[in-house]
Amino acid sequence: MIGKMFLSILRNIADCFLGYAFFAQAAAILLTYVLVVSGFDWHYFEATRSSALIAFLFPAALFGFLVPVLVPVGLYVMGYLHRHPDWRRAAFALAQAEIVGVLVSFIYKAVSGRAHPVLFNNGPFTDISREFHFGLLEKGVFWGWPSSHTTVAFAGAAVLATLFPKRRALIIAACIYALYIGIGVSVTIHWFSDFIAGAIIGTTAGIVVAKSVLKRRA
């Protein structure tokens, strides 16, 4: 079981760079380039230095870590207790999409080495939005481009939307959560383009995983 899941994760990571997913990755890179070079990332950062806004959005960093762990576990437990195989299957798909999303983001972070914004600083601010350190593990895999929080949140939302297309309330809730996480980290610990790229990459990862689950179920 574990071996099959491991192979499935590796296969889905590879599929994130093939076919339509390849063009989605290219779009994420191109949009990041435009947002960085145009100066939008820096202007967005300067425009969102409201202490009230930061206080409201800062919990996104914590929720973006806890929710992806708690929801699949809770969904699996509910599926087990209620003998609902679709819920258990969705729990595995959700967990796998989150794992694939975070690993793909780690791959990019390992080679892009982007500097993250300085949050706890009253100014004046120095524009470091264009600071990348391309190479291998120049800045580790926990900071930088794209936002892993956003990637995981959108991967989960895409899985749920693909597996349960008729559950409108569920889809809306998942999208609102993903947007809160993405916008939240874009105002606090990431740049705006980190959020946009994470949303694209995460959505792609979620669709790839969901389609693989549906294909095995068919």
Entry pTM: 0.94
- Binned at pLDDT 50, 70 and 90, residue 191 comes out as very high
| Cβ neighbours of residue 39 closer than 8 Å, sequence gap 6 or more | 129
Confidence (pLDDT) at 123? 64
The answer to whether residue 3 scores a pLDDT higher than 70 is no
CA distances for 42 relative to 28, 48, 141, 195, angstroms:
18, 10, 22, 14
Residue 21 domain-assigned (yes or no)? yes
Residue 122 domain-assigned (yes or no)? no
State the Cα–Cα distance between residues 192 and 10, nearest whole angstrom.
29
What the block records as the tokens of 64 is 């973006």
The CA R_g of the chain, rounded to the nearest whole Å, is 18
Angle at 22 between CA 18 and CA 27, to 5 degrees: 170
131 Ramachandran zone, left/alpha/beta (phi>0; psi -120 to 50): beta
What's the rounded mean pLDDT across residues 40-67? 94
The answer to whether residue 215 scores a pLDDT higher than 90 is no
The one-character DSSP state at 132 is B
Residue 124 domain-assigned (yes or no)? no
What the block records as the tokens of 53 is 């806004």
Report the interhelical angle of 148-163 vs 168-187 (nearest 10°). 170
- Binned at pLDDT 50, 70 and 90, residue 166 comes out as very high
CA distances for 205 relative to 19, 137, 202, angstroms:
13, 23, 5
- Binned at pLDDT 50, 70 and 90, residue 58 comes out as very high
Domain that holds residue 160: 2-117+132-217
Confidence (pLDDT) at 182? 98
In tens, the pLDDT along 107-122 reads 999 999 999 998 766 6
Quote the number of domains for the chain.
Answer: 1
| Cβ neighbours of residue 212 closer than 8 Å, sequence gap 6 or more | 8, 11, 12, 15
What's the rounded mean pLDDT across residues 158-162? 96
Residue 85 domain-assigned (yes or no)? yes
What's the rounded mean pLDDT across residues 186-207? 97
